[in-house]
Amino acid sequence: MSILHICCNLAGSRVFPQMFEALRAEGHEQIVFVPEKRKADLGKNVPNGVETYSALTVKKSDALFFGRKAKRTVPEIEKTVNMGRVTMMHAHTLFTDGSIAHALHEKHSIPYVVTLRYSDIEVIWKVEPHLRPMARRILRDAAKVVFLSEAARQKVLSGWLNKQERAAIEDKSAVIPNGIAPEWLDGEARAAGADPVRVGFAGKLNKRKCPIDAFLAVHRARTQGGRFVFRACGEGPLMNELVSMLHEGDQYVGVAHGIEAMKRFYAGCDVLLVPSSAETFGMVYLEAMSQGVPVLYTRAQGFDGQFAEGEVGYSVVCGDVNQQAKMLEEIMKDYAERSARCVEHAKAYAWPLVAAKWTALYQSI
């Protein structure tokens, strides 16, 4: 089996190199093709031991004209890759990669898998309705349609499709989450939280991630008699506003680069609260869990449904600071047992186990 991955987001991703290397360990022959729009990203973030090509086939002027991207990229792939070698294709986004895979499928009759991610579900589908017929064609002709979470799958099945389309796509859909690097899986359970409880926020300091709400929830819990302080890492347009709001005992630690730096950040947290307005998965929750840190994640978004409510933490309502403050109190109950479950359950997301799920899906095609 030889898999052609079409992956426009390789250059800026932590997930994709790990995924391709884990699939290599499973014994797959792989070719990765990266349609790029920035010269500086050519050849960046290449997975070890995996045949990888990139080309400047996307222009800024293309914006949301995905047909142009496909028209420019397909000949480049055919020139670079011997399509006779390719058994199947995997498009790692619906719109950019999916439009390219669909065009190659029509020319070469090679089956393809498509994965839907945050930008597909929460941005492009919503703001560019004229692209929806193209998206439905890509989904209709895919051999398999993969989501990172059950919440994302239900959002697409219930909101995008008519009854006939829903039945066809549901039957060939699967949920396979992102994996976590083995370096994370050395965490230990916590016997108890600190006093005061250190509530962490990790991620982009932007409107979608809602860091201000996370801070306000901690402050609300504190004014209601709880002993909580706020710790944040990351960068983004809300950084100055957030820093200006911090109280005595709160802390902004800046940007943490790399796994070891993030481990040190989580070592100084007892709970993680990231109440994002939208997530297709949410790797920070899984990373925090691996270090024994219980998590508060957004209700009806990517991470919700990965575990039973209360197992590793609780879902919170995006925008409802009062409810988030209440759940900060709740999550500290039975803390030692919950922390131990976090460490244990994170191991199920190790890349070798996730790669085995991909292998089974590929083989089913």
What are the pLDDT digits (tens) for 308-330? 999 999 999 999 999 999 999 99
Of 10-24, 118-132, 329-343, the one with minimum mean pLDDT is 118-132
CATH number at residue 189: 3.40.50.2000
Number of domains observed in the structure of the chain: 2
Extract the tokens encoding 221: 């819990």
Residue 49, pLDDT > 90, answer: yes
Do 195 and 223 belong together in one domain? yes
pLDDT of residue 74: 95
CB–CB of 55/75 below 8 Å?
no
Do 263 and 312 belong together in one domain? yes
- Cα–Cα distance measured from residue 21 to residue 28, given in angstroms and rounded to the nearest whole number: 10
62 compared with 32, residue with greater pLDDT? 32
CB–CB of 91/98 below 8 Å?
yes
Residue 70, pLDDT > 90, answer: no
CB–CB of 252/234 below 8 Å?
no
Extract the tokens encoding 213: 């709400």
Do 170 and 23 belong together in one domain? yes
Do 284 and 155 belong together in one domain? no
| Domain interval for residue 20 | 2-179+350-364
Do 17 and 101 belong together in one domain? yes
CA 159 remoteness from chain centre: 21
CB–CB of 266/294 below 8 Å?
no
Give, to the nearest 10 degrees, the angle between helix 351-364 and helix 15-25. Answer: 70
| Residue 188: DSSP 8-state | -
Do 357 and 271 belong together in one domain? no
Residue 65, pLDDT > 70, answer: no
Residue 302, pLDDT > 90, answer: no
pLDDT band at 1 (very low <50, low <70, confident <90, very high): confident
The percent of residues above 70 in pLDDT, for the chain, comes to 98
Do 173 and 191 belong together in one domain? no
CB–CB of 117/148 below 8 Å?
yes
pLDDT of residue 151: 86
Do 187 and 314 belong together in one domain? yes
Strand order in the sheet with 88-91: 51-56, 29-36, 2-6, 88-91, 112-115, 144-147, 173-175
Do 186 and 263 belong together in one domain? yes
Of 94-103, 133-142, 161-170, 348-357, the one with minimum mean pLDDT is 161-170
Do 169 and 309 belong together in one domain? no
Burial of residue 2 (CB within 10 Å: 0-12, 13-18, 19+) is: middle
User: What type of residue is 28?
Assistant: H
Note if the bond before 129 is cis, omega within 30 degrees: no
Do 94 and 151 belong together in one domain? yes
15: left (phi over 0), alpha (psi -120 to 50) or beta: alpha
Q: Cα separations (Å) of 265 from 21, 207, 250, 284? A: 27, 22, 14, 12
Sign of CA dihedral 116, 207, 271, 235: positive
pLDDT of residue 129: 83
3-state DSSP call for residue 19?
Answer: helix
pLDDT band at 63 (very low <50, low <70, confident <90, very high): low
Extract the tokens encoding 218: 């901690």
pLDDT of residue 73: 94
pLDDT digits (tens, 9 = 90+) for 125-177: 887 888 889 999 999 999 999 999 888 898 899 888 888 889 999 999 999 99
- Cα–Cα distance measured from residue 244 to residue 264, given in angstroms and rounded to the nearest whole number: 24
Q: Cα separations (Å) of 122 from 1, 168, 204, 275, 280? A: 33, 22, 17, 16, 9
pLDDT of residue 172: 97
Please tell me the pTM assigned to this model. Answer: 0.89
pLDDT band at 122 (very low <50, low <70, confident <90, very high): confident
Do 128 and 196 belong together in one domain? no
For residues 329-360, one letter each, b for 16 or more C-beta atoms within 10 angstroms of the residue's C-beta and e for the rest, the string is: eebbeebeebbebbbebbeebbbeebbeebbe
- Cα–Cα distance measured from residue 365 to residue 110, given in angstroms and rounded to the nearest whole number: 11
Residue 285, pLDDT > 70, answer: yes
CB–CB of 294/339 below 8 Å?
yes
How many residues does the structure list for the chain?
Answer: 365
pLDDT band at 124 (very low <50, low <70, confident <90, very high): confident
CB–CB of 298/276 below 8 Å?
yes
Nearest to 302, CA basis, from 15, 2, 88:
15
